[in-house]
Chain A
Amino acid sequence: MMSIVPRPGRTATGLLTLALVALLLLLDARQSIPINPHAAPSPVALGSGQAPAGAHCTQR
């Protein structure tokens, strides 16, 4: 039987994905420590003299 519910187009679905990302960032902003702009790392890790502070899927 054919569905009578219209499918959202690609633009609408893409916008929905972006909206979900925005919602995630809003939720995150409510529960995370506010970003301290004065503690931002140097623009580029190479040559900064600092160890990378990020996390990666290869980490345990």
Chain B
Amino acid sequence: MTAAARPPVRPIRSALSVFSLAVVVFTFALAGPRAALLMLIGLGFGLVLEGLRFGFTGPWRRMIQVRDGRGLLAQFMAIGLCALIAFPLLAASPDELYGAHAPVGIAMLGAAFVFGATMQIVLGCGSGVLVNAGSGNLMALLALLGFIAGSFLGTLHLEWWTGLGSLPVYTLQGSFGERAGLWVTLAGLTGLAALVVRLSTPGQRLPSPRLLLAASLVAALAILNLVVAGQSWGIVYGLGLWGAKAGQAAGMDVLANTFWLAPDHAERLQQSLLTDVTSLTNIGIIIGAFVAMRWRRDPGPQVPRGSAPGRLGILLSGVILGYSARIAFGCNVGAYFSGIATGSFHGWVWFAAAFAGSALALQARPRVLQWLSLSAAATPGGRVRT
């Protein structure tokens, strides 16, 4: 498209600004100041993840396949920056702020492995699916619908899976003390970063200024999420709740299930989504990604439609992503990012299991895509984030 044929961007950008402001004001009017702040934080996440192309799946793939460690190093930096602030905050206000702490278990390990493998097959993770759907990727929208269904299905079976055996919740603060727990976390991240630098190809060891800026902004937003919500940044719970709400609207007796019968979850089911922390930030991420996509002069082309088996495969992959994330006590955001940043031992185990799953799946990916008659470009992460 020539410059003369392009539509003017100023009216579009003005409309996007007004729309974003209206969403925040609407949330404030309906659900109060905390909900509005969380919507604003979600918008920020969406803008940063889409606008600065910061992601989780692509950097893992590039590290494994082409020894490009820049994106993975930016992730470690974001987690470390978040931990630097989150650890002292959690220690100072243990009754007001909760970390993303969960137990390590047999099912949790297997589910993290499956999540890591599936996210490489479809090139989409918890945050990635939200961002890509919001930014207009048709296949990601399919994956998001599957993710919602899968994370809801996971809640229905969570008790059975955790009954296979799990350890108590271990945190690095609890094991080493508040200050030493932070040092152990930072030392662990530094050790991993050193390993990534060593394994990376020369010239692909230093994150670009864009990635460094994105990592800093993601860390700042994650801290704001903790301070405002009282809990760490998460994705999966909100999507499972959306599935439960849809099930309820379809006449399903969701409260008959043990998970949803628990007081905390029953309350979430009965209250508005605009009072649910992760729903608010998830909605904000989708809107923020849409705004960032439309802000550009050229939003870029749609991903290829893909074959019918391919579309079905993407939908089912979304279901597997959602289900496994629920069983693993989180996805790349709730378990890997927030878990490690707030001292949960399960965050480290999740990362190891999911990374191993990713490495294995990347070998099988060409055959799986061929089997689904799907080109790599026709996946939720077809336009890969760096």
Contacts and interface: CB of A to CB of B under 8 A. Distances in A.
B276 A55 contact: yes
Contacts of A54: 229-231, 276-278
Interface string B124-147: 000000000111111001001000
A1 B260 CA distance: 47
Contacts of B96: 45-52
- Interface residues of A, dominant DSSP: loop
B293 interface: yes
B80 interface: no
B272 A32 contact: yes
10 contacts: A10-B137, A13-B137, A31-B245, A37-B31, A44-B37, A45-B97, A46-B96, A46-B228, A57-B240, A57-B325
Given A15-B290, A56-B277, 16 more contacts: A14-B293, A24-B245, A27-B246, A30-B249, A35-B272, A40-B34, A40-B35, A42-B34, A44-B37, A52-B96, A55-B237, A57-B278, A57-B329, A58-B334, A58-B339, A60-B262
A40 B236 contact: no
B234 A28 contact: no
Contact of A10 (B31, B246, B299): B299
A33 to B, nearest CB: 5
Given A27-B249, A37-B32, A57 B331 contact: yes
Interface of B: 30-35, 37, 89, 93, 95-98, 100-102, 133-138, 141, 144, 158-159, 162, 227-232, 234-237, 240-242, 245-246, 248-249, 259, 262, 264-265, 267-268, 270-278, 283, 286-287, 289-290, 293-294, 299-302, 304-305, 325-326, 329-331, 334-335, 339, 344, 346
B272 A28 contact: yes
B231 A10 contact: no
Given A51-B96, A57-B334, A41 B137 contact: no
A17 to B, nearest CB: 5
B272 A52 contact: no
A46 B96 CA distance: 6
- Interface residues of B, dominant DSSP: helix
Given A27-B249, A28-B273, A56 B305 contact: no
Interface of A: 3, 5, 7-18, 20-21, 24-25, 27-35, 37, 40-60
Contacts of A51: 95-96, 98, 230
Contacts of A48: 96, 230
B129 to A, nearest CB: 11
B235 A57 contact: yes
A55 B278 CA distance: 8
B273 A9 contact: no
Contacts of B265: 55, 59
B208 to A, nearest CB: 24
Contacts of A52: 96-98, 229-231, 277
A51 to B, nearest CB: 6
B101 A58 contact: yes
Contacts of A29: 272
A16 B32 contact: no
A21 B138 contact: no
A11 B138 CA distance: 10
A24 B242 contact: yes
Contacts of A30: 249
Contact of B138 (A13, A24, A28, A33): A13
A16 B272 contact: no
A29 B272 CA distance: 7
